[in-house]
Amino acid sequence: MNTPVREPTVDDVEFRALYKKTKYTVETADGWSLVITRYKPTPQSWSQPLFGEPMLLVHGFSQNRHAWTSGEFVKNLLFFGVDIHILELRGHGKSSIELQHERAAKFGRTPPADLEWDWDIDSYFLYDIPAAVAGVRRISRRDRIFYCGHSMGGMLGYGYAGIHDDHFEGIVTIGAAAELGKGSLPLKLLAMAGPGLAAAVDSTMGALNMQRGLSHVSRSLVARLKKQIAPSVPKHLQFRYVPVDSWLKTAASLLDYAETNPVLSTIASRVNWLARQDRMASSDLRWLLREAGEREPRKVAEQFLKWIRSSEVVCYRTGYDFKRGFQKIKVPMAIIFGDADPLASVASTRSVYRSAKSEYLLWRPVKGNSHIEVTMGHDVRQICYDIKNLIEYAKVHRNRAPSLPRIR
């Protein structure tokens, strides 16, 4: 009697056996070169129901491509055969400031005007997302692709889908608020204090600059008297970016120390404002903290705080209101967030759920999760099944006119 062959699970397969990794560059309309890392699925012996379906992944505030690969999010989607394209927004990861200088020298062109930390959320929305969507459509030879964004990446997806619904087959947002700060008093208070905090940092940096400048001039004058060398002028110090990368590396070091100290370990396990350590592997969390953090421009942080203070989500350069665009979203959409997430919650995601006209519309809190572990924690497999269901629905109803009742 023949014993039936057991289908492998994602745990039975090595991550590297699921893909061929490449990267390509897309150019934005305002002169940035952005890198997209592609995980192209390889044919396997088991059924891959989503083989070749292109999906663009967009990270959140101060993150890079490692935010998606620190856990097993990408691995689970590759197991189904999804064609993964991970964008790194300007100034993040491989889309670095250094890359812009290299390409400007190589091609004899002027570097982007906002290169020195002078961009905002509008830059991501008006230039980076359109360039990435066009790039994935070109590489995959598809008119419509799937989009998945975490946190800020999801918010950018809401805005883009409200204008270019015809470019997407479906959209997934993970931990992405539609009305940032709604239902969260701490975030509201932080936003109100934002201008004062920025002014205090500016004053501190200004004082530090004056102190360093005077010290520099004194040393230079002495050197000039001794060696007849003309003094140079130091660069002006100012608050141009939020050093999230440094903060996260410090947090990783503290976690390493906490694991050797029972008291600190207990305290750390209960700190769950943005991450629940009991919902993910500690090694994955430390990798995320060390590798996935990036500096974020001051203007990006200030725009977020302004959105919270004004209870709005607006592209200020064009006046486009993201919230007014929600009702124009008709493609299948899944809105996934942790029920312990202070940034994306029932209160802050409700408006897009109520406004969207999608036939397939999933609005799901993930029990026990906060903001970080929804892309790398123990519940990622179920979240990826939610994404699988959305893509399969879109495949079945591809090229069909809307006719069925909304699935919620």
pLDDT at res. 208? 44
Mark whether 30 and 157 lie in a shared domain: yes
Mark whether 141 and 166 lie in a shared domain: yes
pLDDT at res. 151? 97
Query: Is 50 within a domain?
Result: yes
Strand partners, 171: 147, 333
- CA nearest 126: which of 352, 303, 244? 303
pLDDT at res. 3? 63
Query: Is 83 within a domain?
Result: yes
Mark whether 338 and 377 lie in a shared domain: yes
Instruction: Tell me the pLDDT tens digit for each residue of 86-139.
Output: 999 999 999 999 999 999 999 999 999 999 999 999 999 999 999 999 999 999
Query: Is 103 within a domain?
Result: yes
Name the H helices within 27-151: 66-69, 73-80, 97-107, 121-123, 129-140
- Tokens encoding 29: 């309309």
Give 10-14 contacts, CB < 8 A, sequence gap 24+: 10/72, 10/75, 10/76, 10/79, 10/381, 13/44, 13/79
DSSP-derived pairing of the beta strands 54-58 and 333-338:
unpaired
Amino acid identity for residue 220 in this structure? S
pLDDT at 277 over 70: no
Mark whether 229 and 132 lie in a shared domain: no
Instruction: Tell me the pLDDT tens digit for each residue of 213-265.
Output: 445 444 554 455 444 444 443 444 467 999 999 988 887 787 766 666 554 45
**Cα(first)–Cα(last) distance of the chain, in Å?**
45
pLDDT at res. 212? 47
Amino acid identity for residue 12 in this structure? D
Residues 78-91 as b/e (b if ≥16 CB within 10 A, e otherwise) read: bbbbbbbbbbbbbb
Mark whether 140 and 24 lie in a shared domain: yes
Looking at 206, 221, 242, the residue that finishes a domain is: 242
Count of domains in the chain? 2
- Tokens encoding 79: 């197991």
Query: Is 47 within a domain?
Result: yes
Instruction: Tell me the pLDDT tens digit for each residue of 368-382.
Output: 999 999 999 999 999
Length of the chain in terms of residues written:
408
Mark whether 338 and 376 lie in a shared domain: yes
pLDDT at res. 201? 61
pLDDT at res. 233? 39
Mark whether 82 and 50 lie in a shared domain: yes
Output the domain CATH number for residue 64: 3.40.50.1820
Q: CA torsion, points 23, 26, 30, 31, in degrees to nearest 10?
A: 60
The arithmetic mean of pLDDT across residues 331-353, rounded, is 96
- CB 295, CB 245: distance < 8 Å: yes
The verdict on pTM exceeding 0.75 is yes
pLDDT at res. 138? 98
- Tokens encoding 357: 């006209």
Query: Is 264 within a domain?
Result: no
Question: pLDDT band for position 1 (50/70/90)?
Answer: low
Domain that holds residue 58: 10-182+311-396
161-165, 184-188, 219-223, range with greatest mean pLDDT: 161-165
pLDDT, averaged across the chain: 86
The arithmetic mean of pLDDT across residues 319-332, rounded, is 96
H/E segment holding residue 366: strand 361-366
Residues 302-327 as b/e (b if ≥16 CB within 10 A, e otherwise) read: bbbbbbbeeeebbbeeeebebbebbe
Mark whether 147 and 166 lie in a shared domain: yes
pLDDT at 404 over 70: no
Instruction: Tell me the pLDDT tens digit for each residue of 33-90.
Output: 999 999 999 999 999 999 999 999 999 999 999 999 999 999 999 999 999 999 999 9
Name the H helices within 271-405: 282-291, 298-310, 322-325, 346-355, 380-396
pLDDT at res. 198? 66
Mark whether 29 and 156 lie in a shared domain: yes
Query: Is 153 within a domain?
Result: yes
- Tokens encoding 182: 């709604």
The arithmetic mean of pLDDT across residues 186-214, rounded, is 65
pLDDT at res. 219? 53
Rounded to the nearest 10 degrees, the angle between the axes of helix 262-270 and helix 244-258 is 130
